[in-house]
Every structure is written in C-alpha cells, then in structure tokens.
Amino acid sequence: LKYFDHLYGFDRPLPVQYVIWLRHVLEGNLGTSVATRTSVASVLVPRIGLTLFLTVYAVAIMVVIGVPLGIVSAVFRSGPSDFFASVGTLTFTAIPTYVTGVVMAVVFGVELQWFPALGGGDIGSFLTRLDHLTLPAVALGLSSMALASRITRSAVIGELEKPHVVGARARGFSGPRVVVKHAVRGSLVPVVTIVGAQIGYLLGGAVVIEYAFGLNGLGSLLVSSVQGKDYAVVQAIALFITAEFLLISLLVDLLYGLIDPRVRLVGRTA
C-alpha cells in the first residue's frame, strides 16, 4: 500500500500534489488511472462521445420545444394554451432530474416498452443510438426545457409591450411579422443566456442520468471513480466540465454581438 501511495504521490502534502497535477495538465498529461493502470486520457476518450451525444440531444429538446412553447405562451398569454403551458413548465421545473428519469424508465421503458430502459447509446447506427438515448435525453432536458420556456415567455412579453412593437402593430403590420421580427428578435439575448447556462447544467446533470439508465459515459465513470477513489479520473472529469462551462460562456458572449448590434457599439465606444 505504501508503494502505491508513493507511486501515485499520495504520500505528499495536498498542495504539493495539486501543483504536480497542475504542471502535468499544462503539459498535456492528465495522470494515470489507479483502477486501470493506464493513462486517464485513454479512459476518458471512449466515454466522452456518449456524454456529448446525450447532452446535445437534451439541448435540442430544450431549444426546439422550450423556446417555441414560451413564444406561444407569450403571444396567447392569459389564454388556455398559456395556462396549460405555465402549469406544465412549473411542474417540470420543480421535479428533480433523477425522479423524472426513474419515472420515465419505469413507464415508457418497462411498462409500455416504447424505448430501451437501460444501457446502449454508445454503439450502433445513429438511429439505434438515438433510440437508446431518447428516454435519458428527455429526462435530462425536461427541467431545462421548462425553464427555457418560462424565460422565453417573460422576455417576449416584455418585448411585445415596448413602444416600437406597439407602433408596428398600430401601423398595420401583421401579427406574425411583429412577433418574429421585433418581439422574438429582441428577446434573444436573455434566451441565449439561459440556454447557454443550461448547457453546462445538462452536462453536469448527465452524471445522474447516465448512472440511472446504465449508460457507459462520463457520468457513470465519475460515479465509479469516486467509489474507487480514482482521484486522477475524478479530477480530469471535473476539469472537462469546468472547461465546457467556460467555453459555453465565451460562445454566449460572442453571440451577444451577433444578436444585438448595440452590444458591439457599446464595446467600441468604451
């Protein structure tokens, strides 16, 4: 045991271990896995694809369903569609992801057998992987979809009440044109902000969903690594998730200038 502690540097003070690990990371070396006795990179690479696939699938559900639902709720606010959409989004926002995953696995996977309830998603054709990851992606993206819908609704309602939108309606422009060209376009900044923030949340939430559905991704690897005290793998996964958060934040900041030219003008005057 002392031999392995010395081999992996566990017998050194924690600050020294961290400095050594950071130096190795900057050199492109993520360390060695205690469980497999191989490089951490060789352990992570086969798992990243499934986690990214699952995250992109959940993001697509969030954007394709959540944003249009929020727009419809804003345009027809105080109507039946707004009521049912609001009740649904509030309900899904309050339900934890792991509860949604268990319920969907039991109902749609075991009882109805519409989709596979466990495993898969990392091999086979695109449609096969899509079939295996549908339940996990819906369970993962449902809460974020509800939140994106609520934010979109509030942003579009705020834009619809602005003077230039009211003036466009008074000049006789059609309702769909006013909504798409003025209200939706003006509300994209808060929508993009919440979508970008939720992408990072979805990648982190994949840990629970992958473990619940028996998927062979980074989430299940993180759980097994924590249980096996494979610190190098845990640090590498945490570093990957952190880097993803920073990258998404950078992309969101860059999108602000494309969505709203006023952001670029403020930057130039500053």
CB 71 within 8 A of CB 154: no
Say what the pLDDT of residue 263 is.
Answer: 56
18: phi then psi, degrees, rounded to nearest 5: -65, -45
Structure confidence at residue 262 as a pLDDT band (50, 70, 90) = low
CB 140 within 8 A of CB 58: yes
CA proximity to 220, closest of 232, 235, 209 = 209
pLDDT, tens digit, 9 for 90 and up, residues 119-170: 766 677 778 888 888 888 888 888 888 888 888 888 888 877 777 666 666 6
pLDDT, tens digit, 9 for 90 and up, residues 208-237: 788 778 888 888 888 888 888 888 888 888
| C-alpha span between 237 and 46 (Å, rounded) | 13
